Amino acid sequence: AQSVTQPDIHITVSEGASLELRCNYSYGATPYLFWYVQSPGQGLQLLLKYFSGDTLVQGIKGFEAEFKRSQSSFNLRKPSVHWSDAAEYFCAVEDTGGFKTIFGAGTRLFVKA
Amino acid sequence: EAGVAQSPRYKIIEKRQSVAFWCNPISGHATLYWYQQILGQGPKLLIQFQNNGVVDDSQLPKDRFSAERLKGVDSTLKIQPAKLEDSAVYLCASSLGDRSYNEQFFGPGTRLTVL
């Protein structure tokens, strides 16, 4: 079965600093990959998704992610973090058959002034 | 455009009691999902509906959980009887289609505490 690993439970960055959240997946073929953000007390919101083509994907709120097949990774990046980016971030992968999405355990981002 | 609505937002019950959650998806969305999110974990799919038919309920504990989507619009998820390990946030989501490349839109969730 497909799986997603987010190695970092939580990360703290200073406001204005760059951010990279790690995600590794297991999948036999080229997967559909997603990043979602969950702000406190709110549901998940899709940041970006990768299906095929250009391996660098642009998303909302200034986020981007890069698909690296050789490393089975799909890391999320942002060049300059804002205090409002403090939230939990989930990486997800399509399950075999293409109907179900498998979520990682999440990485909680703290932003310090 | 109105988002996915869920109620109640919070519920506290004692073990062995029953509880029900309600979800109203975005208008026109054929696919509806119920997820369970235990503290410190990512959402886990419990059941997925396409219109009023079930696409996937492989991870739904059917001895205690049930869900229905009458008329292919809103949905209810029921737990009877509840156990301590059912304490979690229950998220409802909807999408236009049932394939994973369709963006899922999530509601705010219902936080259930079982004492």
Cβ contact, residue pair B108, A41, below 8 Å? yes
- The stretch B30-41 carries a mean pLDDT of 94
For residue A105, the chain B residues in CB contact (below 8 A) are 40-42
Question: Could you tell me which residues come within 8 angstroms of residue A12 by beta carbon, excluding any fewer than 6 positions away?
Answer: A109, A110, A111, A112
| % pLDDT > 70, chain A | 97
Locate the chain B residue with the closest alpha carbon to A9. Answer: B40
For residue A42, the chain B residues in CB contact (below 8 A) are 108
Cβ contact, residue pair A105, B4, below 8 Å? no
Sequence letter at residue A65: A
**What pLDDT was estimated at residue B90?**
97
For residue A101, the chain B residues in CB contact (below 8 A) are 45, 100, 104
**What pLDDT was estimated at residue B1?**
65
CA A18 → CA A6, A49, A112, distances in Å? 18, 21, 13
- Name residue A98's beta-bridge partners: none
Best mutation site among B34, B41, B100 for testing chain A: the one with the most A CBs within 10 Å?
Answer: B100
Chain B within 8 Å of A45 (Cβ-Cβ)?
A: yes
| Residue A48 confidence class, pLDDT cut points 50, 70, 90 | very high
Pairwise CA distance, residues B76 & B85, whole Å: 20
CA B105 → CA A16, A63, A75, B26, B33, distances in Å? 29, 19, 22, 8, 10
Of A46, A95, A106, the CB nearest to B42: A106
pLDDT tens-digit map of A51-98 = 888 899 999 999 999 999 999 999 999 999 999 999 999 999 987 676
**What pLDDT was estimated at residue A28?**
67
pLDDT tens-digit map of B38-95 = 998 999 999 999 998 999 999 999 999 999 998 889 999 999 999 999 999 999 999 9
Chain B within 8 Å of A44 (Cβ-Cβ)?
A: yes
For B77, the token pair is 């998820």
Locate the chain A residue with the closest alpha carbon to B57. Answer: A100
**What pLDDT was estimated at residue B78?**
98
Render the burial of B39-50: b for 16+ CB within 10 Å, e for the rest.
Answer: eeebbebbbbbb
